[in-house]
Structure 1
């Protein structure tokens, strides 16, 4: 309803209430957001044992060993998105040969969809602080082997 009235992400409270006075506005709850991120990371363990929470409310998942098991990257991404939605998160995903690349694509949002083959890392970022997919450890150290 607010979106139909012209409300967009990043707008200030006054602008939102001017455009859509019936909109309910909630303050952020960092503890609840962190809890949701942990739940998302735990749920994504079903796709790979290599899951790590990253910066900007992101979960990185290294899926290189799981691609065949789940029927390829497109099906696996559909499963990841469905899992995120089941947790009440609106996912934005990115796939790339490295976790950093997947994170950047997810951060850029849906218009920057780019599929690289093979794509061992999935990044899924929630629309309002949420979810992304890599290997345990520092995401900057993730490099494709070989």
Structure 2
């Protein structure tokens, strides 16, 4: 009588290929995350209880170091020198005469510096508004 041999096949799952995929994904995300550049300016706006929800087409930013940036439409803010600001604002006024220009000034910007920029716009017939963030006490509950 012939004896039959039993070969037991054990099913093993090889984790080597899975770890390769995980490490490749990890390396991919680490490399691509270094290409992301933050484009937002750090502007700490002053608070105000009066709010108007408007989306300006032109924005002028003054950061805490008193560097002036300007943007039109959906473009990224670009740093401007003092003498370039008036030219930029006049160009915007020619292209969009009905639009207003929003000034986003950091809370640490001296009041006199802010008045200089607003006065520059007023002397040239530009419509300018000052952007603020809502005061904590001005938040109104829904339904009232």
Q: Radius of gyration: which is bigger?
A: 2
TM range (shorter): under 0.3
TM-score by length of 1: 0.27
